[in-house]
Amino acid sequence: MSNAYDVLIIGGGPAGLAAGLYASRSKLNTILLETNSQLGGQVSTYHEMENYPGVLDTTAPELMDNFKEHAKSFGTKIEKAEVQEVETGDFIKTIKTKDGIKYQAKSVIVATGAEPRRLGVPGEEEFKGKGVSYCATCDADFFVDLEVVVVGNGNSAIEEALYLTKFASKVTVIVIHDQGTMDADKIYQERAYQNDKIEFVWNSTLEEVKGEGLVDTAVLKNVKTGEKTDFSCDGIFIFIGRVPRTDFLEGIVDLTDNGYIKTNDKLETSVPGVYAAGDVRNKFLRQVVTAAADGATTAAAAGGYIEEEEYWQENVLEAEEDVLVAFWSPTNEESLKMTGKLENMDLEAKGVKLVKIDTYKNTRISNRYDVTEVPTLLKIEDGEVAEKITQPTETEIEELI
């Protein structure tokens, strides 16, 4: 199949691009699918980038361009496509796009990130793109010398409010908390308080969006008194968190109640060979640097998974003869003795193939066959377990053969 790859990455943000870089550099045939024409994910919609280690003078879009070029330089193939379905098999996964194209991959890395959360208030959807925005970097230049409202008080909201002051004549931040209390880091709070163009409305939320063709009024509600006020403005920017893009994975991998992907320490999902990186997974810190680290981790884990599975498929499941699988550990003396005996028994002459599995390096195969002690022997016939013996005696080994 021409659309067959070792690793398929869904999402072209920092996590996906870092995964592409590391996977391609490891000589894995890698493709990255991104819904949008512009790579970089949510990061590319910001401007400032001052906390990526070792990079002192760059913008967010510039950094993402560098991520893209770096991944492509090692051979990552990048295509524009929206993934709608992932089918998981024993080893090969099938990925279907909105356009009906099918891809096959031995491992899949989900790096779809999260999109801006909607408030769901009256007028929000109606005025989207007509004064309601979720991206200051994208739309700030439409509001030169105009007055805008920012809803939210986290890092993203305050950072975007500061950016908007470069264009708008006035930026009013709507904060749900008491005066002087915000969720943003102190450094952002201090910058906002010191900016003459920024003002605050405390203990309030956005209740409704109004306008005649374009936004001209934000209806604010005081959360303590319940009083509603018409606030005149030319635009409303909403930054109240994000929602993970995992709709296409419901029922496929384990998700949290909020829709984030659950992962283990190798960032593998509940499905073997399917990994998650970046903002889409359940994690403590969501930053460009942690997304990039996730990408590197998933690429390395995917490479190990592919190597282990290919070896098992080729040497055990697809073997023409019976296979004796010896699970051993270099730190276990009994298992070393067992493998030594097996190697000296001329098994080939008896029509039996010997495969040794180091339980330290090949945890996946050990776990799959519930091998908790070494030495353990499995006899595989036609790809199925015919017999399993833990701590086998010499007599038991002879009988097994």
Catalytic residue (choose from 138, 141, 230, 382): 138
Q: Is 183 a catalytic residue?
A: no
What confidence tens digit (pLDDT) does each residue in 370-382 have?
A: 999 999 999 999 9
Amino acid code (one letter) for 47: H
Residue 398's pLDDT band (boundaries 50, 70, 90)? Answer: confident
Q: Which of 52-61, 172-181, 373-382 has the lowest mean pLDDT?
A: 52-61
State the pTM of this model.
0.81
With b for 16 or more beta-carbon neighbours within 10 A and e for fewer, the 148-163 pattern comes to bbbbbbbbbbbbbbbb
Residue 112's pLDDT band (boundaries 50, 70, 90)? Answer: very high
pLDDT score of 235:
97
Catalytic residue (choose from 6, 139, 234, 279): 139
What confidence tens digit (pLDDT) does each residue in 227-260 have?
A: 999 999 999 999 998 899 999 999 999 999 999 9
The DSSP output letter for 59 is B
Catalytic residue (choose from 135, 183, 216, 358): 135
Q: Which of 56-65, 142-151, 379-388 has the lowest mean pLDDT?
A: 56-65
What confidence tens digit (pLDDT) does each residue in 284-322 have?
A: 888 899 999 999 999 999 999 999 999 999 999 999 999
Q: Is 233 a catalytic residue?
A: no
Distances (CA, A) of 323 to 137, 182, 199, 356, 394: 60, 64, 74, 10, 18
Distances (CA, A) of 166 to 25, 134, 193, 197: 41, 17, 15, 9
Q: Is 138 a catalytic residue?
A: yes
Domains and CATH numbers, the chain: 4-116+242-312 (3.50.50.60), 132-238 (3.50.50.60), 320-400 (3.40.30.10)
With b for 16 or more beta-carbon neighbours within 10 A and e for fewer, the 317-333 pattern comes to eebeebbbbbbbbeebe
Locate all alpha helices (DSSP H) within 153-259, ordered by sequence: 155-164, 186-194
What confidence tens digit (pLDDT) does each residue in 209-228 have?
A: 999 999 999 999 999 999 99
Taking the C-alpha atoms of residue 151 and residue 172, their distance in angstroms, rounded to an integer, is 9
